[in-house]
Amino acid sequence: MRRWNGWGDESTVVELPANGARFLAERIGAGQALADAGLEQVLARVPASRLAPHPLISLDAETRVRHARGQSLPDWLAMREGEFGQFPDGVAFPETQEEVRQLMALAAERDWVLIPYGGGTSVAGHINPQASGRPVLTLSLERMNRLLELDEESQVAVFGPGANGPQVESQLRARGYTLGHFPQSWELSTLGGWVASRSSGQQSLRYGRIEQLFAGGTLETFAGPMALPTFPASAAGPDLRELVLGSEGRFGVISEVRVRVTPLARQEAFYAVFLPNWAQALQGIRSLVQARLPLSMLRLSNAIETETQLALAGHPGQIALLEKYLALRGAGAGKCMLTFGVTGSPALNAASLKQARRLLKGFGGVFTGTLLGRKWAENRFRFPYLRHALWEAGYVVDTLETATDWANVGHLLDKVEASLRDGLAAQGERVHVFTHLSHVYGEGSSLYTTYVYRPGGSYAEALARWRTLKTAASEVIAHNRGTISHQHGVGRDHAPWLPVEKGPLGMATLRTLARHFDPDGRLVPGVLLED
């Protein structure tokens, strides 16, 4: 059963290693656990629905609870405390495009607000109902999860928008294909959600971001359906797919997704290399991507993340040996771990591996083979579960991300980390902060920063601390040439900073489009655009 107040299935538990709590206690002080609410307690607070019964709509209280919040840190705190605030008045589970249209017609006729819902994994407040005079219907697409068509010659697959990562991959794998889109939320997030929020997967270096994978489909809007035909490329005017990508539900409901797929690779491997320091590591990873080596994954942890990962890896004895080996070869204190992958034909993989090793050696890289790479691959979707373990140990963990041009990566990283590290200094609190680059491009890189802090004595305090930190980092990002989101979208949490990036005319353009597709402002008001 999926957790109602956290990440993933109840049967999956990721433990904090024995030395993990000690490692954090040394850095930011002893943990401060807060008491959680029970589901019964929350159910008792769900108000009566404002919707009349309808065969396509569930008014069940638990269903409403389970669709009220995403996975942002404020969502987490609200769920843990049992203070949800708002609930949808009902949740619909359409099974066809026709049912989606029926429900939208009903919403127009009866003046409802609609929230399109994929996997409920938003970390930016996309799917949370707001207080409204209008009833709120959440439109879960989870039953529209089938592979509907596969054109093997063109390598294009047609899916229902509600297919989640495992559903996408298992249906393709049975035919010998993969989408190759693996965001950390992969176990729960959906194809439609990826498109709506411009998601990027861990192997985007090979397969591309969802922008490159999304070949077409259908958007149901209040101004009618918009069909996006598939073409390999087109010069016939602005690309309307690009309006659906990142529309975050504001323009319509994605009811069908056509994606570019790839035959399963014959060979795949991940390797770890340690660089002696951040300056050399940064040059090394930039050189790799700018040399256009056909790698499938690149990730670089800064020194604190490397240290933290090794400390939390368990097996302290083995890690100590590894560190001794690395230090002997020049990667001692301050070392940074770089992981890279090759995916494809053995011959090209071998050529790429050779080039990558040679290039990294020039920056002092110490190659350690596939062991840590394999670990990374095994644990690639487990990080979100760690929030549970840290929470129980009395710590709050959140992440934030941006992307910027290479010339600005070092500067922005320093500023973002400092804004978080020192963000609670006025309260005498320390924050443990570390960063990796996980999506790299010729032009620049994403920056993915994790921060761990203590909740203080109450939920209110925990949320206030989060707001202080999130605001400080977002200000730094927006005013230092970073995008307010590289892979998670804008939602409500990032909306205040979007105008810095899009400018006044850009914002007016998005508002014009929202009015065009949704004249009555029925779709997720407040998301993407604050008004």
Q: Which residues make up each annotated binding site for FAD?
A: 116-122, 248-254
Residues 326-355 that bind a copy of itself (CB under 8 A): 344-345, 347-348, 351, 354-355
**Which residue has 């999506």 as its token pair?**
439
Q: How far apart are CA 363 and CA 331, in angstroms?
A: 11
Q: Rounded to the nearest whole angstrom, what is the least distance from the CB of residue 99 to a copy of itself in the complex?
A: 20
How crowded is residue 25: how many other Cβ atoms within 10 Å of its Cβ? 15
Check binding of 155 to a copy of itself (CB under 8 A): yes
Q: Rounded to the nearest whole angstrom, what is the least distance from the CB of residue 120 to a copy of itself in the complex?
A: 18
Q: What is the DSSP letter of 495?
A: G
Q: Rounded to the nearest whole angstrom, what is the least distance from the CB of residue 78 to a copy of itself in the complex?
A: 24
Nearest to 114 by CA among 99, 94, 143, 92: 92
Check binding of 122 to a copy of itself (CB under 8 A): no
Can you say which residues are annotated as belonging to the binding site for substrate?
A: 387
Beta carbon nearer to a copy of itself, 198 or 436: 198
Residues 180-199 that bind a copy of itself (CB under 8 A): 197-199
Residues 225-254 that bind a copy of itself (CB under 8 A): 225-240, 242-248
Check binding of 255 to a copy of itself (CB under 8 A): no
Draw the binding track, 424-443, toward a copy of itself (x: CB under 8 A; -: no contact).
---------------xxxxx
Check binding of 494 to a copy of itself (CB under 8 A): yes
Q: How far apart are CA 239 and CA 242, in angstroms?
A: 6
Q: SS3 of 224, please?
A: strand
Q: How far apart are CA 349 and CA 288, in angstroms?
A: 14
Residues 386-415 that bind a copy of itself (CB under 8 A): 403-408
Tokens of 156: 């294009």
Q: Rounded to the nearest whole angstrom, what is the least distance from the CB of residue 251 to a copy of itself in the complex?
A: 8
Q: SS3 of 263, please?
A: strand
Which range, of 44-52, 365-373, 419-427, 512-520, touches a copy of itself by CB under 8 A?
A: 512-520
Q: Rounded to the nearest whole angstrom, what is the least distance from the CB of residue 12 to a copy of itself in the complex?
A: 27
Which range, of 269-277, 360-368, 378-386, 478-486, touches a copy of itself by CB under 8 A?
A: 478-486
Check binding of 19 to a copy of itself (CB under 8 A): no
Q: SS3 of 89, please?
A: coil
Nearest to 294 by CA among 242, 241, 350: 350
Residues 40-79 that bind a copy of itself (CB under 8 A): none
Given a contact cutoff of 8 angstroms between Cβ atoms, the answer to whether 233 and 154 are in contact is no
448 is catalytic: yes
End-to-end C-alpha distance for the chain, whole angstroms: 37
Residue 362: burial class (beta carbons within 10 Å; 0-12, 13-18, 19+):
exposed
Kindly report each contact of residues 108-113 with a partner whose C-beta sits within 8 Å and lies 24 or more positions away, as own/partner. Answer: 108/222, 108/520, 108/522, 110/135, 111/135, 111/520, 112/51, 112/136, 112/137, 112/522, 113/137, 113/522, 113/523, 113/524, 113/525
Catalytic residue among 177, 207, 395, 448: 448
Q: How far apart are CA 227 and CA 252, in angstroms?
A: 12
Q: Rounded to the nearest whole angstrom, what is the least distance from the CB of residue 172 to a copy of itself in the complex?
A: 15
Which range, of 28-36, 63-71, 110-118, 151-159, touches a copy of itself by CB under 8 A?
A: 151-159
Tokens of 91: 């949740």
> Pick from 280, 445, 468, 474: which binds a copy of itself (CB under 8 A)?
445
Nearest to 468 by CA among 526, 528, 411, 426: 426
> Pick from 104, 144, 386, 510: which binds a copy of itself (CB under 8 A)?
510
Q: Rounded to the nearest whole angstrom, what is the least distance from the CB of residue 353 to a copy of itself in the complex?
A: 11
Beta carbon nearer to a copy of itself, 307 or 518: 518
Which range, of 6-14, 50-58, 152-160, 166-174, touches a copy of itself by CB under 8 A?
A: 152-160
Beta carbon nearer to a copy of itself, 261 or 372: 261
Beta carbon nearer to a copy of itself, 102 or 480: 480
> Pick from 188, 490, 523, 524: which binds a copy of itself (CB under 8 A)?
490
Q: How far apart are CA 185 and CA 137, in angstroms?
A: 24
Q: List active site positions.
A: 448
